[in-house]
Structure 1
């Protein structure tokens, strides 16, 4: 049975999402300004209009294509008894924790999939082609990838039978963790190592945005660091070090590629390249 707290969260879902998103984005932007990890070579004024513009488009597209989104599907699944967790007897708090863990694993596997299938990589490389690494990189995804990701997430929600509040909590955590681990922020080395035992930190995820292919195809997690460690995709450091590593892809190095119109058309332009997992050469 839904608790009063669950009912409050779900009843104020838009405000919960918006306040968490705006708060974390603002906090990370200030943190990056005060304690940056890497020197910024390209000014924010040149990158942020494209990165933030694509967020607006993504949001509008999702609202049209999925009016009820994942929380709405979770409510339906709960009412109809769909999904694994709706067929077993568990304490509500246990079901919420298991659902959040299962959804985080699903996002990890989805991320690997978008690196493994060349057609999906064409969409996902919009995220990787950013020439800098900061909080707005976390928001830079092609609208078609966003639609496919939402479809896969909703399938996972239905299969797991995730409680509606678990879906809301997970989506807020996912957005917050993504903005945190894409931050151009400096953490104390000992703090970073301790955090990495549980969470994906900026230093851990920055390796994933290296121009070097083997580094690009590592550290796929967005929230929990466990999946990379357990499934053999963890890489502790970039070969050139965090200050010396090159961010982005071998393709799309021209700063003009940071424009919104070029981001939207990028999946249709140029070769797929050698980045997809286990792929050599270009096509």
Structure 2
């Protein structure tokens, strides 16, 4: 009985995390995405002088060629496994933000001693915490994303996400568990360090301005156009806005299999780190010709078991090749050392 209650509670927690008011797939996020989709549809139809209708909206936003695409079916299956089944396990294998904050605070106090918190106005501290948490979150996301693109062994895991041939909101969790855990830990370390430093400077209780229990800036992104990153809707931000914010078109370029688009637009909500590190590709107002996927190997990712297991095999092959290249050098170093 106790086990059944625990399982039921765990399932309830997973559903609340996903579909609650503050969840990524809760009503605020999904309704916001729907309104942004409607605005996109109306704008596109008016700009082309075409009539506007409910049927036209549904057919445009929920196109059958995308909804019933085999790639979408795989997205949905991995969304269920990653978001509802395995999410609890991911939490046990990740550093907590609070743990990283306390570890940072302890290290600062050990190195520099305790200090009297600065008496700054609360709204300034809250505003700083809001902005610094967002920048730290984005830097960790950019850095992890960069590593998974540029290191061949890690790319084998990230390739699962890029193998999507069409884009839907479910594509967000078409990810390998190794990638999910890596990003969770990097973000926890970065944001925890920010709050550790700010707690050292301003005392306990430092937190950002919040909306639905999350950083207000990240939540505003989520409850508006955040889910449209993985969609077929070409909504570009250009000019200065394109250097600061990731638009849906930014991320669609990121998923392109065109070599000119490889390793571009690695940020989540912000484009500032892409701008700073030279990985930014600002989309044009008119839709660019884009094909999603990973080219000739797309069929290798057509089933969920292959998406979970194949990256481990290929990761092992990369590691094996690296060890074989490294072994002769290590042997020569030992020979030289023996004559020293």
TM-score by length of 2: 0.60
d(CA) in 2 for partners of 1:79 and 1:144?
Answer: 24
Which whole-Å CA distance do the structure 1 matches of 2:186 and 2:282 have between them?
Answer: 29
Change (3 A) 1:112 1:80: closer
Structure 2: state its 5+ residue gaps: 1-15, 42-56, 109-113, 197-205, 317-340
1:1-283 counterparts in 2 under 5 A?
14=17, 15-18=20-23, 21-25=26-30, 28=33, 31=37, 34=58, 36=60, 41-44=65-68, 46-59=70-83, 60-67=85-92, 73-74=97-98, 77=101, 81-82=105-106, 89=118, 91-161=125-195, 168-169=214-215, 172=219, 178-187=226-235, 195-237=241-283, 242=287, 244-254=289-299, 257-268=301-312
**RMSD, aligned α-carbons:** 4.0
- Check whether the contact 2:176–2:307 (CA below 8 A) recurs between aligned residues: yes
Q: CA deviation at 1:182?
A: 2.1
Shift of 1:234: 1.3
What is the CA-CA distance between 1:17 and the residue it aligns to?
2.9
In 2, are the aligned partners of 1:204 and 1:237 still within 8 Å (CA)?
yes
Unmatched segments (≥5 aa) in structure 1: 1-12, 273-283
Output the CA distance in 1 between the equivalents of 2:144 and 2:80. Answer: 23
2:111 alignment partner in structure 1: none
In the alignment, the residues of structure 1 paired with residue 32 and residue 297 of structure 2 have an alpha-carbon distance, to the nearest angstrom, of 30
**Is the Cα contact below 8 Å between 1:50 and 1:258 reproduced in 2?**
yes
Deviation at 1:75?
A: 6.9
Higher relative contact order, structure no. (Cα contacts within 8 Å, ≥ 6 residues apart)? 1
Shift of 1:131: 0.7
Assess if the C-alpha contact under 8 Å between 1:200 and 1:223 holds in 2: yes
- Residues 199 and 111 from structure 1, CA distance in 2 versus in 1: closer, same or farther, beyond 3 angstroms? same
Equivalenced residue count is: 253
Mark the CA change 1:172 to 1:58 in structure 2 (over 3 Å): closer, same or farther.
Answer: farther
Larger Rg: 2
